[in-house]
Each structure stands twice: as structure tokens, then as C-alpha cells.
Structure 1
Amino acid sequence: MDENIWPESGDFVVCTVKNVTDFGAYVTLEEFDGKEGFIHISEIKAGWVKYVRDHIREGQKVVCKVLNVDTSRRHIDLSLKDVNEHQKRAKIQDWKNEQKAAKWLQFVAEETGTSEEEMSKLKLKLFENFGSLYSAFEEAVINAEAAFGDLKMKKKLASSIVTVAQSNIKLPYVDIAGYVDLNCYLPDGIDIIKLALEAGNNVDKEEGVRVDISYTGAPRYRIKVIAPDYKLAEAVLKRSAKAAIDTIEHLGGKGEFHRHNDTVKV
């Protein structure tokens, strides 16, 4: 991570205990380029602590809460007692996910022949836009290369990230489908049907939702929606079908929606 990036007060961080003293413990922050922090004896455990070593030891991995950051002194005050078990487990999982994502990104670099300097810039972009590397890979699973549309990323990099993400992350989502019959017998009927399909495909979608429309045989077209949950998928499916039907009927054709009841949990 960039040397100039520091944690913020209230953040949870994964640390390795470096040195235990009578008045606290010095630790290194795993996610912040090994920056050093300090846990005062009063922040080790709720209540009175006689011996720090009874509660923490060198080499131990701990999750701490950031109390204060002084970048000018390069000093970080931390608390161990302010982290409950749920927060500890969640943070450790996030940290492990981030380690996996960093390895995946290294694989992307090797696969695409991207330089270390360029990958460092890409990492910063992904952090800024997604909050973490792992979140960027999750978005790649859901939205494919479209997830990186605003980043001006090279196509080969985006494609490689999507491939790696889809091979390693299996997110729970709902896959549902429906059909629209679109008919238009005007001279420009084919163009009108195309406009209707575009309207159905470009319907407003919440983040993490994908709509795919495919031809199954005249006059029927299949609308497939992938979303994080059934309620959202159903709403988008109906919205897509309505947009296609409204468009074709406005232009002189006819449309009809048929629900396909199969749903698949992946």
C-alpha cells in the first residue's frame, strides 16, 4: 500500500505484536505498509491489567481499533479492548479476502504483462473506487467489464480481472427469466423491434443487477435478470418487459409479457 496512506480514527486494523513492555505493546499494522502503532496498557483489556504479557505476546496477530493518528510524528494509538468478537472475526475475514485479492491481482499482472508501476497505479484506482481490492473483484463477478467503465482501464486488464474474479468468487444471487413477444408489421418493423429491445435492456438498474435479452424464435425474446435477491430481480424483470412493450406499442407494434417461473439460486 502507498506509504502516504494512513488509517483513520475508528478504523479496525490487523496488527502483529512486535514488542511487549510493562506499559503496553508496540505493533505493526499489516494493511498499512508495516506502520507502527502502540496499545497502551489501559487499552489492553477492560479493567485493571497487572501484566501486559498475560494478555498479549510477541508475534501474535490482533485486531485493534484506531484511536488517534498523528502523521507528523508517525504515531498511531490503538485499542485492543474496544474490539468485540464479532468485529474481530469480520475484520480478520476482510483482511484474508484482501490478501487473496492482492494475489489475484498479481496473477493478472503476470497474465497481461503489466509492469509493477502500472499495477501500483491500478491498485490505487481500485481502492479509491471500490474501497478494497476484494470489492473490485466482487463487482467484476456481478457486472463484468462494465464494473470498470469509469476507470479508463486497459481492456486486457479489465478482461483478465473479470476472468480471475469469476474463477475464484461465487456470490449468492438470483437468476430469473421472462419472455416478451414483440410484433410490428410496419415497413420499418425490424428497426422498431430493435428500439424496443434497447429500451428493455437499458432500463434503470440498481447496482449489482444485470439484464440480458436474447432472441429465442420469432416473435419471442428472453429477458434474463441476475440480481442479489429475488424481490429486486423480479422488479427489474417487470420494468424491462414494460419498457420494451411500451416502446413497441408507442411506435405502432404490439407486445406481450410471459413470466418464466424457474428461478435458480447460485
Structure 2
Amino acid sequence: MSAQVSRLPEEGEIVIATVREVTGHGAYVVLDEYNSMTGFLHISEIATGWIRNIERYVRPKQKAVLKVIRVNKARGEVDCSLKQVSGEERKSKLIEVKKNEKAQAFMDFIKARLKMTDAQVSEVEEKILAKYDYVYDVFEEVARKGPEVLDKFELSDDLKKAMEEESNKIQVPQVEVRGVMEISSRKPDGIEIIKTTLAGVESGKGSAKTEVTYIGAPRYRIVVTAENFKVAEKSMNNAVEKVRLAIEKQHGAFNFAREESKKTHQS
């Protein structure tokens, strides 16, 4: 994962570098993912406009996200740019690095625990990367959906168990959207109608979990938890609309008011 993938990076590639030395013309950097290969960051590629002090932008030992703009394969020289890296590219690269670091820690622990060889670890990682962008992604999916995710791979039971236990260390970020429904019915069996309707929207499966709790007649709280607000909002809207239609079909009264949403973690 952090090993050298090829001898030289490609032009246009986003890389992580450590600033080694700052000069009057720019900075020499070490490309972390390419076996500490040296690259050069010219002063004209550090920032737009005139630069009075390079160290305002880059300093020795500092980590930087750079774009490879020229590669001389014959001489093994790499020129980089800081100013050509977009905010989105920088964010994406830092996420990639963080995922790789976490996955490396997980795999190192599993390797030691199961006494695996480097070749065996590489084989497992290759299987994962055939289905996921990053090795870390499989651990995250196990944390979200459960160990059944690993059934798609040909892995030993011991390895699956170890991977599941490492996945349990991940705190899965979740969001919670809430609201209060006021529901009433004049029918003799109105209470049963309401109970049956609310039970029909509760769900603990899929990408969102919906719970309804009784506050006090005629008020009921509905809470939807999901991995992001888009999924949560869609599930909330669907559930509320389902309740509204069912209650109004039975000539009951329905009203809904939103409460403040919040971010949480899956326990």
C-alpha cells in the first residue's frame, strides 16, 4: 500500500512529499510513496504571484500534497507543483493517505497475530483491492454492515475473525434526524390504527434505522439514523408521508414538526 508502485510517478499524479531543503529557487522534496525519490518544487510552482519568502509556504520537514508536472525518465528527475493542486485533490489525497495508514496498522496487527508472511498479506490485499479502491474500505464496510461482507472473499475463518475484530475499532460516523408527529383518530379502534401504522414504518435494516417512540398523547417522536443526511432525510420523508397517508385515509388528524438534527457515532 505504501510500497513503491512503480519506479517513477506519472505526470499529473497527486503525491505526498516531505520538504527536504528550501533554496532561493524553490524546494527539494522527498516523494514519500516512491521510495524517498527526490523531486523539485520550483518557486514559480509554489504560489501565484511574487514570493518574498518561500518558507511562508513550505518549510523543511513539512508534509505537502503536490502535483507531478514533469518527469524526465532518462534522468530520473521529477518536477512538482503546489499551486496546481486543487482543494478537492488535496482533500482526496489526504483521505487516501489516512485510509492507507489505518489499513497498514490493521494488517500489521493481523499479520503478527496470525503469524502471516509478507507474501500472504500481499495476497489478501490484492484480493481486497480487486473489489475496493482501498484496503481500509473493506474494514469500514464490515464496521457498517457486519462480518458477512467478508464472505465474498476466499479467506480462512481465523483471518475473517481477525479482520472483524479490527473493524470493530472503527467508529462509524452517523447522522440522526428527528421530528415529532401529532396523530389522533376519532374511531373506536383509533389507538390500534395508530399503533399498526407506526409499527409499519419502524425499521432496523438497510442503510437507515427508523424508530418511533411515544411521548404522550397525541405526540410521537420519529428518529432516523443513517450514514449521511441525504439517506436519513429520504428515509424520514418516506416514513412521515407513509404515516400521513395512512392516518388521513382513516380520517384521522396528522401534523409533523422537525427537531434539530445531529451527528453521532454507531455504538
State the TM bucket, normalised to the shorter chain: 0.5 to 0.7
2:167 corresponds in structure 1 to: 165
Paired residues of 2:174 and 2:226 also in contact (CA < 8 A): no
Q: CA RMSD of the aligned region, Å?
A: 4.0
Report what 1:3 is aligned to.
Answer: 4
CA distance in 2, matches of 1:56, 1:16: 10
Q: 1:170 to 1:117 in 2, by over 3 A?
A: same
What secondary structure sits across from 2:18 in the alignment? strand
The residue number in structure 2 matching 1:107 is 109
* Aligned counterpart, 2:58: 56
Residue of structure 2 equivalent to 1:223: none
Deviation of residue 80 (structure 1)?
A: 0.7
Match of 1:37 among 15, 39, 53: 39
Alignment partners' CA distance in 1, 2:39 and 2:131:
27
> Cα deviation per residue 1:65-109 (whole Å; 9 max; x = unaligned)?
232445565443321112355654554354234322211221111
Within a 5 Å distance, the mapping from 1:85-100 to structure 2 comes to 87-88=89-90, 91-100=93-102
**What per-residue deviation string (whole Å, max 9, x for no partner) do you get for residues 165-187 of structure 1?**
1222323278xx977xxxxxxxx
- SS of match in other structure, 1:134: helix
Cα distance in structure 1, aligned partners of 2:207 and 2:72? 42
Q: Could you report, residue by residue, the CA deviation over 1:131-168 in whole angstroms, capped at 9, with x for unpaired residues? A: 22322321222233443444433332233112211222
Question: Aligned partners of 1:173, 1:54: CA distance in 2, in Å?
Answer: 38
CA contact (8 A) 1:209 1:233 kept: no
Kept in 1: contact 2:30–2:37 (CA 8 A): yes
Look up the match of 1:135.
137
TM-superposed CA distance for 1:117, in Å, is: 2.2
Question: How far apart are residue 231 of structure 1 and its match?
Answer: 6.0
CA-CA distance at 1:12 after TM superposition: 3.0
Preserved contact between residue 68 and residue 78 of structure 1 (Cα < 8 Å):
yes
Q: What pairs up with 1:141-220 in 2 under 5 angstroms?
A: 141-172=143-174, 209=207
> SS state of the match for residue 105, structure 1?
helix
Query: Which amino acid is the alignment partner of residue 64 of structure 2?
Result: V
Contact kept, 8 Å, 2:21 with 2:27, in 1: the verdict is yes
Structure-2 change in CA distance of 1:152 and 1:129 (3 Å): same
TM-score by length of structure 2 reads: 0.58
Aligned partners of 2:207 and 2:226 also within 8 Å: yes
Are the equivalent residues in 2 in contact too, given 1:142–1:210 (CA < 8 A)?
no
Q: Is the 8 A contact 2:41 2:81 kept in 1?
A: yes
Query: 1:44: Cα distance to partner?
Result: 1.1
Name the structure 1 match of 2:253: none
Q: In structure 2, do the counterparts of structure 1 residues 2 and 24 end up closer, same or farther at CA, with 3 Å as the change threshold?
A: same
- Count, aligned residues: 200
- Equivalences for 1:233-248 in 2 at 5 Å? none
Deviation at 1:41, TM superposition (A): 2.0
* Rounded Cα–Cα distance in structure 2 between residues aligned with 1:151 and 1:45: 46
- The letter for the 2-side match of 1:167 is K
The CA distance in 1 between the partners of 2:59 and 2:73, in whole Å, is 26
Classify the secondary structure of the residue corresponding to 2:146.
helix
Q: Give runs of aligned pairs for residues 48-87 of structure 1, distance below 5 A.
A: 48-49=50-51, 52-53=54-55, 55-69=57-71, 73-84=75-86, 87=89
Q: Among the aligned pairs, what percent are the same residue?
A: 26
Change in CA separation of 1:145 and 1:8 when aligned onto 2, cut-off 3 Å = farther
Q: Which amino acid aligns with 1:171?
A: P
Tell me the distance in 2 between the aligned counterparts of 1:11 and 1:82. 11
* Secondary structure in structure 2 of the residue aligned to 1:167: coil
